[in-house]
Amino acid sequence: MTTSAVPTSTRTFTIDPAHSEATFQVRHLLTKVRGHFSECAGTIRFNDEAPEQSLVCFTIQAASVDTKTTDRDTYLRSEDFFSVEKHPEITFVSSRITRKSSDDYDVRGTLTIRGVAKEISLPVKFLGHEKDPWGNARIAFEAETTIDRKDFGLKSNAALETGRFLVEDEVKISLQIQAIAQA
């Protein structure tokens, strides 16, 4: 009996940092502070027909954090927070991808921040595919989730007179990803 491999439509895409962003927001005192990371990279092996065969690897340079406040950014890079000297990268590597609807996926994987790795579930929306004016195949996704920063060793905080803390534990993370097919 002869078996043959079933052809798949898995393609490898490289994240386009010029058209992608990783942002976050967290309540600080009374309002929300927003920021982003300006340096991200990664690959997506995408199979629309069999999403369980897909894979996502995403890396953020922790030192590229930008909240538009120099002193705060310096503090976030310090040993008290991201500790970018010891832990220069924030990474996510998928372990299981499940289609929830035609454009919605549950992407489970390991998020590593400050050397602490935790499995998370990331709800992802597929925004589609398109050829750009130069003939490059592109795909795009968006995702949003909330994590507890203390789960990743980001514990620095200050108590306020009211009994509350300066920075809340919940951090909302948003990703807008556009990727280009590799030749």
pTM across the whole model: 0.88
CA–CA distances in Å: residue 15 to residues 101, 108, 118, 172: 23, 19, 23, 21
**Residue 115 neighbours by CB distance under 10 Å:** 11
Question: CATH homologous superfamily of domain 11-181?
Answer: Lipid/polyisoprenoid-binding, YceI-like (2.40.128.110)
Return the exposure string of 4-27: e unless at least 16 CB atoms fall within 10 Å of the residue's CB, then b.
eeeeeeebebebbeeebbbebbbb
Longest dimension (CA), the chain: 76
Tens place of pLDDT for every residue, the chain, 183 residues? 444 343 458 999 999 999 999 999 987 666 788 999 999 999 999 998 898 899 999 999 999 999 999 998 998 999 988 999 999 999 999 999 999 999 999 999 999 999 999 999 999 999 999 999 999 999 999 999 999 988 998 776 545 455 554 567 889 999 999 999 997
Torsion region of 20: left, alpha or beta (phi above 0 gives left; psi -120 to 50 gives alpha): beta
| Share above pLDDT 70 across residues of the chain, in percent, rounded to a whole number | 87
Q: Which amino acid is at 162?
A: T
pLDDT tens per residue, range 83-116: 999 999 999 999 999 999 999 999 999 999 999 9
Whole-angstrom distance between the N-terminal and C-terminal Cα of the chain?
35
Residue 167: the pLDDT is 65
